[in-house]
Structure 1
């Protein structure tokens, strides 16, 4: 059986360096770690299960890695994660930022739920190769130690675009999410596919970032360009609320001059006047399912990728005018 001593000899490094590299320690440079992992793969190195068990620090803690915590989106999602892990005697810690990535290789947590674009897919695959258990909510990855629980972004965006087109609109604005966002990319693909299937649509894209301020800025641009009825798909409700707030200071009437649809069905969207159209799904269920899938991975149970389905919530409107 190949040992870390064999890897060290072929790679020309110390045994301790091999150990650090195999555990993803930042004490080893990326170049050296890549060399060691390549040698380990070449030699078909398999960690000794008994040795790993002796060294394993079971913390009974799950990490949820998020890009940030801004906006109203995260409350129900995190509550669902917490409920899911607590049922099995685990606790949940919320992590954000590059330095928090160390919690995985240093085994301060038993597994991770990732909704965080600061992780590269290559980094996550490296951790999975080392035996770490992961559930991803924001990308598609194929690895036995990684499970996907993804939102059906494309179906939701298709529903949103078709809703506006069916109302009779032929001028469609789309306010995007951040450039690095998986959800934004998926939604944009679906919108463009829907427009391609519908001749005669004027399509204008405005860059956003999923925050209210981006919605307000997009509203300012739309008002400056306004020549007649238009429709707006904000790729999340936060931006849609920001646009509502700005348009309330103008002569443009939401629900008559401009129709807006968001995505996420956050609580505040229930109280807009007129009622905001949006795409609904259970954020709590998403969190519960993600945590349940991760715990299955940790136990060694068989898992399949899961998808969170969406539905359309219609807004209040009188159709496009003039």
Structure 2
């Protein structure tokens, strides 16, 4: 690999002069700078990014840490992050798995956006104490080097359950997310509170889920097994709702007549399934963009918020009829 020492030898100048020229320092005359850059091009010189990073203590790279890449949820979120970062001269890398957590302390990243249950709160606070800049999308953490950019999960779950109650449902289910999921915990808490306010005579049950189609299908089979009349079901994300649709296809039980479903996330396919899925909507792209914007402000020493909230709304579909048909 060609080094600045090689360029200096070919150009007949000192190593420090080459370094100044490559970095655009005005200490070098325009004529000398042009000659050095021409030699560098001729020798196919490639800058050593690792050495530059050590010197400047920046990489212009931000990491987005995810628990998994599965499902239809992440595309718009990551695109929102990427677009905002690129506007400010940063690049995005996607990370998953505990081994990737080393990228923060090893200085490979200028900051990180966290949507990864494998990070413990203790680990993130340790990184923040060491000066690393973080945005969290999946928990509440208070620290000068951390910004929270969170979905309004409680409002979304309240909208979903109130919608089912307004349609006259007395038997309600909620299909949860993975154990320990921040979003699942918040949505379930709001669902329970809404049911409690709904008055007497309401039967409510929570079924285990995992934010994937398979767990939605499993919940559907459980509902069928104990079916005794029309039920309202709040699936805590759309993936599970779609799994429920698939499991009920070909059975005597029909979505919108026997089983009435509300999802969460408004993924693209929700508008195309029949009957059209009622769901909680928000902009994944905006969520990603706001997270990136706040992190860049934090990295560059600007004024960043302690927390930002992403608001949600209910999109009514055809999958929720009246309980009496």
Name 1:57's counterpart in structure 2: 57
Q: Secondary structure at the match of 1:62?
A: strand
Q: Secondary structure at the match of 1:114?
A: strand
1:184 and 1:202 map into 2 onto residues whose CA distance is 20
Name 1:271's counterpart in structure 2: 272
1:86 and 1:105 map into 2 onto residues whose CA distance is 23
Name 2:105's counterpart in structure 1: 105
Deviation per CA, 1:61-85, whole angstroms, max 9, x where unpaired? 0000000010000000000010011
Q: Which runs of 4+ in 1 moved over 6 A?
A: none
Q: Say whether 1:309 aligns with 2:311.
A: yes
What is the Cα deviation at residue 201 of structure 1?
A: 1.2
- Contact conserved, 1:257 with 1:321, CA < 8 A, in 2? no
Q: Secondary structure at the match of 2:122?
A: helix
Deviation per CA, 1:194-230, whole angstroms, max 9, x where unpaired? 1111122101110000000000010001111111010
Alignment of 1:188-207 (within 5 A): 188-199=188-199, 200-207=201-208
Q: Say whether 1:87 aligns with 2:90.
A: no
Name 1:69's counterpart in structure 2: 69
1:227 and 1:100 map into 2 onto residues whose CA distance is 49
1:153 and 1:140 map into 2 onto residues whose CA distance is 13
**Rg larger in structure:** 2
Q: Please give the root-mean-square deviation of Cα atoms over the aligned residues, in Å.
A: 1.2
Q: Which structure 1 segments of 5+ residues have no match? A: 1-52
2:121 and 2:282 map into 1 onto residues whose CA distance is 26
Name 1:320's counterpart in structure 2: 323
Alignment of 1:171-210 (within 5 A): 171-199=171-199, 200-210=201-211
Alignment of 1:139-218 (within 5 A): 139-199=139-199, 200-218=201-219
1:265 and 1:182 map into 2 onto residues whose CA distance is 19
What is the Cα deviation at residue 256 of structure 1?
A: 1.0
1:171 and 1:194 map into 2 onto residues whose CA distance is 14
What is the Cα deviation at residue 301 of structure 1?
A: 1.0
Q: Which structure 2 segments of 5+ residues have no match? A: 1-52
Q: Secondary structure at the match of 1:233?
A: strand
Name 2:260's counterpart in structure 1: 259
Q: Secondary structure at the match of 1:100?
A: helix
Deviation per CA, 1:74-128, whole angstroms, max 9, x where unpaired? 0000000100111001100000010000000001010000000100001100100
- Contact conserved, 2:262 with 2:277, CA < 8 A, in 1? yes
TM-score (norm 2): 0.81
2:152 and 2:303 map into 1 onto residues whose CA distance is 23
TM-score (norm 1): 0.82
Name 1:296's counterpart in structure 2: 297
What is the Cα deviation at residue 300 of structure 1?
A: 0.7
Q: Secondary structure at the match of 1:64?
A: strand
- Contact conserved, 1:153 with 1:187, CA < 8 A, in 2? yes
Q: Say whether 1:287 aligns with 2:323.
A: no
Deviation per CA, 1:169-215, whole angstroms, max 9, x where unpaired? 00001100001210000000100111111122101110000000000
2:54 and 2:313 map into 1 onto residues whose CA distance is 48
Q: Secondary structure at the match of 2:84?
A: helix
